Structure 1
Amino acid sequence: MIEEVFRAEYGRAVSVLTRVLGDLDLAEEAVQDAFATAMLRWPVDGVPPSPAGWIITTARNRAVDRLRRETKGHEKHAQAAVLRGESEPEEVGDVPDDRLRLIFTCCHPALAAQARVALTLKLLGGLSTAEIARAFLVPEATMAQRIVRAKGKIRAARVPYRVPRDADLPDRLKAVLAVVYLIFTSGWPDRRALSDEAVRLGRVLAELMPDEPEVWGLLALMLLVDSRREARLRDGEIVLLADQDRALWDADLVAEGQDLVRRCLRWNRPGPYQVQAAINAVHSDPPTDWHQVVALYDQLMAMAPSPVVALHRAVAVAETEGPERALALVDALDLDRYHLFHAVRADLLRRLGEDPRAALEAALGRTDHPAERDLLRARLRLAAADQQDRADGDHQGERDPHPDPPGPA
C-alpha cells in the first residue's frame, strides 16, 4: 500500500511543497521523511482515510520543524507560516496543476536537456536513479551525478520554481513532452499508476495548449499504446504485438487515439510524437501495412534521427525486405547497452537459420525487468532445443552416408 501511494502521490507532494516553500531540496527531503514515517506508523496505526493528504500534511510539518530549528530569521519564519497554511501564496499563470508547474519549472533553459528530463522524472514520477538510468541507457552512477549537478546548478543560478511566463511555455514544451512520455514508458504496462499519471498529464497539457499538435500527438501515442495493455501481458509474461489477442485491446482508447491522429493530420504540422502516433495507428488497423510503417519511420528519422529509431525501422524493414537486409541495418548501430538491440538481433538471426543464443544472452544481461527476462529465457530454451535438433540432424546425416532421396519435386 505504501509503495502504491508513493508512486501515485510522491510527485504531487513534492510539487505542492515546492510551490509553497520555494525550496526544492527541502520539499523533497520533507516528503521522503513523511514516507519514512508512514512506513513505521501505518502498519501499526492503519492506513489513514486520505493517504495523500496525510503525506502532504506530515511533510509540511517536517519542513516547518526543520526551518524553525535551522534559523530564527524573519524570512524562514515567513516560510514556516506559509507551510502552516497561514498565508498560502496565490497561484498565478496558465499552468493549473502543481505537477505540471514543477515539470515546466524543472525544464528551465539553464539546465541541459537530459538533466531537465532526469530531474523531473525523479521529482514527479518518484522514479529511482537506477530506473532513470535505464531509461537513458547510461550507468546509474552517471545518472546520479547528472541529477546532483542539475540540483547544484539550480541552487547556484537561483533558478526560480514558479510558473513560466505565457511566452516561455512553447519553448519548454519539447522537454516537457519528453518527461511525460518517459514517465509513461517507465510505467507501461505493469506499473499502471505511472502510465496513468502520464496520460492524465498529457490530457491536462492538451487542455493547456490546445493549439499545439505535438501535445495531441503525444496523447494519441500514449492512448494507442495503452490500448494494448491487457493483451501485452499474459500470466505475467510479455506477449509480442503479432501474438496479441486483439479482442483484449481497449476499443475506446484505439478509437480516441486514431481520432487524435486524424486531427493532427489536419493541422499539417508534423512532429516526432505525431509520427510515432501514426505508426501505432497503422498497427492498430490490421493487417499492418509494413510499407507505410517504413515510410513513417523514414519521416521520423528525418525529424529526430537516433539509433533507437533506426532499430525500430529495421524491424519494419525485415517485414518488407527480409531479415538479411534488416540485420545489416541493425549491425551498423551502436546500441550495445540496449537490451532490445540484442533481442532484435536474436530474432533476425533465428529467422536466418543462425544461432541466436549469444544475442539472447546479451539481451538478458541488459535488462532486469522480470517479464522481459522471462520472455528472453523462454526464447533461449527454444533456441537451445532448435540447435540441438539441428545437431542431431547433422549427426544422423554423418551416420547414414546414403540418406533417403528427397521426395518428388
Structure 2
Amino acid sequence: MNEALLRSLTPSVLGILVRRGADFAAAEDALQEALVEAVRVWPADMPREPKGWLITVAWRRYLDAARSDTARRRREDLVEEEPAPGPAPGVDDTLQLYFLCAHPALTPSSAVALTLRAVGGLTTRQIAQAYLVPEATMAQRISRAKRTVSGVRFDQPGDVATVLRVLYLVFNEGYSGDVDLAAEAIRLTRQLAASIDHPEVAGLLALMLLHHARRSARTGPDGSLVPLAEQDRGRWDTVMIAEGVAILQAALARDRLGEFQAQAAIAALHADAPTAGETDWVQIVEWYDELVRLTDSPVVRLNRAVAVGEADGPRAGLAALAALDDALPRHTAVAAYLHERDGDLETAAQLYAEAARKASNLAERDHLTRRAARLTQLRRTG
C-alpha cells in the first residue's frame, strides 16, 4: 500500500468535498473512512484514477452520513447533486485548507494537530504518538478544532504568516513515534510552496532544509546533544544544504525580506563555514539586526547576544545580554556560555547548573549538567 500517495492526495480530496458543500468536520470524517477503505482495497485492485476513486468513495460516505441526519431538505439536495464517478476535478484547494487549519480561532496546538490530520493525512494515532499524548486526548483536540472551523467559508482569504508559524511549530517538534514531524513539516512546506508564490514560504522551506541537513550530527552515539561548534561537519547533508541555499537566494533576490528568510540566511552562513572558527559572525550579527527590526522578539535578541559575543568578544555579548529579561528561556544557559568564553569558570559552572535545573527536556538537562561538571573539574585540576 502506497501510504505516501494517500497522504499526498488527502488535502486536494478534502478540499473538493468542502467545495461541493460538505461541512468540514463531516467531510474530514468521510475522507478518513475512504482512506481506510483504500488501505483495504487498493493492494489487490489499484484504481486507475486514485484521486477520483477517493473523491467518489468519500462523497458517498458523506452522503450516507447526511441521510441519517435530521436536516431532510439539505440531505435531499445533496443526494440530487451526487456526481458520477470519473476523473478528478482539476481544482486544487490545498492552499485554502492550509489557511483553514491555521485559523486564528484555533490555539497553536489545535492548528498543528488539524494541519497534520487534514493536510498531512496522518491518523489521529500517529499524531498522538508524535506528540506523546493519549490517542483519546488528541482525538478530542482534533474534534474541537474541526468544529471551530466548520462554519468558516472556504473562499475566505487566509493569513500566510499564520500558516507558516503552524508549519514551523510542526518542524520544531522534531520526531517521535513512527512519524518524523521534521520531515513531515518539510513535505507540507514544499506542498505549500507549490501552491503559492511567496518569498517567505520559500524562506521557511530553506530554513527547514538548512537545519535538517545538520540533523545526523546533532546527537552523539549515546543520544547526547552535540553543540553546533562541536558537530562533525562531514556528517552534514551537503545536497540538502545546496538546495536550501539555492531556494534562499531566489527568495532574497525578490527583495521582500521576511523573518524566515533572515533566519535562513543565518543558517546558511553557519552551513557555509568549513569549521566553527571560520564562521562569519559579523554577517550573522547583521542578519540578527534585521531580524530584530522585523520581529523585535526577545528570543531573537537573546540569540543576537550570542552572536555579538562571538563577533566582538564575550564582554560585548554579556553587555547585550544584560539588557534582556533574565526570565527568558535559555537566558541562563547563554550567560553561562559567555562567562565561560570570558574565562570566568566559577560563575559559568554555577550558571550551567542553574540552567540545567530549568531545562525543559532531559537531553538539554544532561548537556548542561555535563558542562557544569566539566568546568568544576577544570577549576579543581587547573
Give the alignment's TM-score, normalised by structure 1: 0.66
Partner of residue 370, structure 1: none
Q: Superposed, which structure 2 residues align to 1:10-25 within 5 Å?
A: 13=10, 16-17=13-14, 19-21=16-18, 22-25=22-25
- Cα distance change on mapping 1:254 and 1:79 into 2, 3 Å: same
Within the candidate set 322, 338, 343, 1:348 is matched to 338
Give distance in 1, aligned partners of 2:326 and 2:24.
Answer: 35
Number of the residue aligned with 2:215: 229
Superposed counterparts of 1:85-164, under 5 Å: 90=89, 92=91, 96=92, 98=94, 100-107=95-102, 111=104, 115=106, 118-126=109-117, 127=127, 154=149, 158-162=151-155
Deviation at 1:291, TM superposition (A): 0.8
Aligned-pair distance for 1:295? Answer: 0.7
Which structure 2 residues correspond to residues 4-403 of structure 1 after superposition, within 5 A?
13=10, 16-17=13-14, 19-21=16-18, 22-27=22-27, 66-71=65-70, 73-76=72-75, 90=89, 92=91, 96=92, 98=94, 100-107=95-102, 111=104, 115=106, 118-126=109-117, 127=127, 154=149, 158-162=151-155, 168=157, 172-187=159-174, 193-210=180-197, 212-235=198-221, 236-286=223-273, 287-330=278-321, 332-334=323-325, 336=327, 338=329, 340-351=330-341, 352-353=344-345, 354=347, 355=350, 356-363=352-359, 366-367=360-361, 373-384=362-373, 386-387=375-376, 390=379
What CA deviation, in whole Å up to 9, does each residue of 1:56-88 have, x standing for no partner?
999878755544433361423555788997699
Gaps spanning 5+ residues in structure 1: where?
A: 134-140, 368-372, 395-409
CA distance in 1, matches of 2:143, 2:162: 16
2:129–2:176 Cα contact (<8 Å) kept: no
- Secondary structure of 2:68's aligned partner: helix
Give deviations 1:120-163, integer Å, cap 9, x for gaps.
Answer: 31112245599599xxxxxxx9xx99995x766545xx31135x
Identity of aligned residues (%): 36
8 Å Cα contact 1:106-1:116 kept in structure 2: no
Q: Aligned in 2, Cα 1:320/1:309: closer, same or farther, shift over 3 Å? A: same
Partners of 1:294 and 1:316 within 8 A in 2: yes
The two structures, once aligned, show a CA RMSD in angstroms of 4.6
Mapped to 2, the partners of 1:292 and 1:105 lie a distance apart of 38
2:17 maps to amino acid: V
- Per the alignment, in what secondary structure is the counterpart of residue 253 of structure 2? helix
Shift in alpha-carbon separation, 1:128–1:308, aligned structure 2, 3 A: farther
Q: How many equivalent pairs are there? A: 348
- Kept after mapping to 1: 8 A contact 2:259/2:294: yes
